Every structure is written in C-alpha cells, then in structure tokens.
Amino acid sequence: MSQKVIYLLRLLICIAGVPTVFTLECYECNNPTNCVSPSVIQCDQSAANRTRDELKLYFLNVPDIISSNYMCLRTNSTQSNGRTANIHGCIYDETKACNLTLNTAGSHWSKSSCFYCSTDLCNSAPNIADYSSAVAIITLSVASLLLTNVPGC
C-alpha cells in the first residue's frame, strides 16, 4: 500500500473520531417499564424537545428553550397510590428541570428524585457505563499513537 493511501486512511480515522468525542449521550425512557432497559441517545434538538414535551405532562411552566448546549436528566416522581413517573433523557442546559414545580392538580404527586449531569450516560447508567469514559480515553490514546505521523491530527 502506498504512503499516500495510508496517510489518507489515518486522516479519515482522525476526522471520523472527532464528532463522537463531543456528542453527549444520555439514557432515554419515560416509564418504569422502558426504564428497565433504557435507550441510549445522542443529544440533539429532537431529543431535548422529546424530553421537554414529556416534562410538560408532569411539571408546570416548562420553558420552551432552544439551545445547542445539553445535559442528561433523570427525574422520578411518585403518586400517593404508588404510581411512578420516570423521565430520563436529554434536556437543554437552561431548562433547570430540577427546579420545576410538579403539576399536582387533581393528584398527589411528589418529586422523589431529580438529577442532571453533563457526562455520557450519567443519568442512571448501568454499571458497565461507569467504564465507558476510561474505554474512550484508552481508545483515543491508542489512535493518537497510531496517528503521530499524520500532520494536523
């Protein structure tokens, strides 16, 4: 294989790896059943809007914010009869979901927990996700060692 082809392959690997480094991933689910095995999503406007619309079902005055800055959210609420509402997903960072007031009209809901964070899969990730950052760092380190001869990477 010629040096030019090897150079182009290394450059392609370098460019392809950049978008995944800066995209926040969150778990997404909206009820106890699908939160047992939540989906993994990449934060974008569509994902943040889905979570915002879900929040509007249970909370008052959810702001209609559009931004390019995202966070992961996990909020759990319970009703006096034992019914629970779980919302895990991606939100705009200015939503301040944990400061929202529950819409308790005609029901007895109480917020049992609320948490937002800005690292991949930080909103109720299974144990294996605890190691995802370390795996990403090791992978990027190995890739950078392999790409040391590619100018611009």
| Backbone φ and ψ of 19, nearest 5° | -60, -35
pLDDT tens by residue, 34-44: 998 999 999 99
pLDDT tens by residue, 53-108: 999 988 899 999 999 999 999 998 888 788 888 999 999 999 999 999 888 766 67
Higher pLDDT, 147 or 14: 147
Residue 72 CB-half CA count within 13 A: 22
Closest CA to 91 of 65, 129, 112: 65
pLDDT tens by residue, 112-140: 889 999 999 999 744 333 334 444 555 55
Supply the pLDDT for residue 109.
Answer: 76
CB 55 within 8 A of CB 87: yes
